[in-house]
Amino acid sequence: MASVGSADRPTAVVLGAGGFVGRNVCAALRATGRPVAAVARRPAGLPDGCRPVPFDVARGDPAALAAALAPLRPGLVVNAAGALWNVTDDELTAGNVTLVERLVRAVEALADPVRLVHIGTAYEYGVHPDDTLAETLPARPVGRYAQTKLAATRIVTRAAAEGRVSATVLRIPVALGPFIPAESLLGGLARQLAAHPAELRLPPLDGVRRDLIDVRDVADAVLCAARAPRLPPVVNIGSGRLVPLADTVDALIRIAGTGANAPEIVRGPAPAGRRDAGAGDRPLDIGLARREFGWAPARTVTDALHALWGSTRVPHTSQHHT
């Protein structure tokens, strides 16, 4: 169990530490020697080395959360939590909006200065005709998931603009890498290949292109945001280019090494209620991240797929939150 942070190594608090993004953020923070505390409803499934802080942020009082955080004297709070897979509209609101409202109020109430890094999504932009998605574009999301994430972004950026918190929002596209959930496209396909390598059921992917980022590069961006002298309200963290998803699936099949015979492809319908409803196929403009954070993606899609496949064969609990 991690100890409370010292003056030279203040504690980093991570919400959603047991999820896909949060788990990798914790690993990156721990690699720097920083104490990490994980705020979660249940202590089970948290990454090794994290100090558990049992608390249900979506239901708890902000003052009570501030009281739980105060003894840790955190210098950084990362929100990688949120409702994402197999949830109702009410659960999306609770996990993506109410949780962030209460977190911001709790961080604001802490006596010592704290930096807040919130993980947003590129789906907040919606469809634009521009060649790339820059932070200056208006956000006009269509799907309920993206709408609730935009509401959270506005809560964070408003608090920062009013000087109530020091905060930034990292907007990420489709993330790949170790411990990706089974509910995601590539995570589900990897588990199919591990369990039944002779057959692969695919939704329609013809012409579908997405900006893909290794989740470990996202974690590195969190570290950059934690130490940046200036914090833009919103920063894109992506690869800056589009990749055909069909090609990505082919690469995963090769990495899985299913033998001399390629799996039989069974075409199925598109899943209902996709979280990327209304998202266009435009890459993120990552110039601001380069200029303000000195950040750039260091890993390729192939790197991410190798890590994804490696973690698929390691038993772990699937998470339903970011």
Let me know how many helices (H) and strands (E) the chain has, helices first: 10, 13
What are 13's strand-pairing partners? 37, 77
3-state SS, 140-201, equals CCCCHHHHHHHHHHHHHHHHHHCCCCEEEEEEECEEECCCCCCCCHHHHHHHHHHHCCCEEE
Task: Estimate the crossing angle of helix 301-312 against helix 245-256, to 10 degrees.
Answer: 50
Residue 145 is a catalytic residue: yes
Compute the CA torsion angle 37, 40, 45, 51 (nearest 10 deg): 20
**Coarse DSSP helix, strand, coil percentages of the chain, rounded to the nearest 5 percent:** 40, 20, 45
Tokens of 268: 């199925």
Q: How far apart are CA 188 and CA 182, in angstroms?
A: 4
Element (H or E) spanning 96, and its range? none
Contact between 82 and 321 under an 8 Å Cβ cutoff? The reply is yes
DSSP string, 59-72: TS-HHHHHHHHGGG
Residue carrying the six token digits 């596209």: 173
**Other C-beta atoms within 10 Å of 58: how many?**
21
Determine which one of 145, 179, 293, 295 is catalytic: 145
Please identify every residue annotated as catalytic: 145
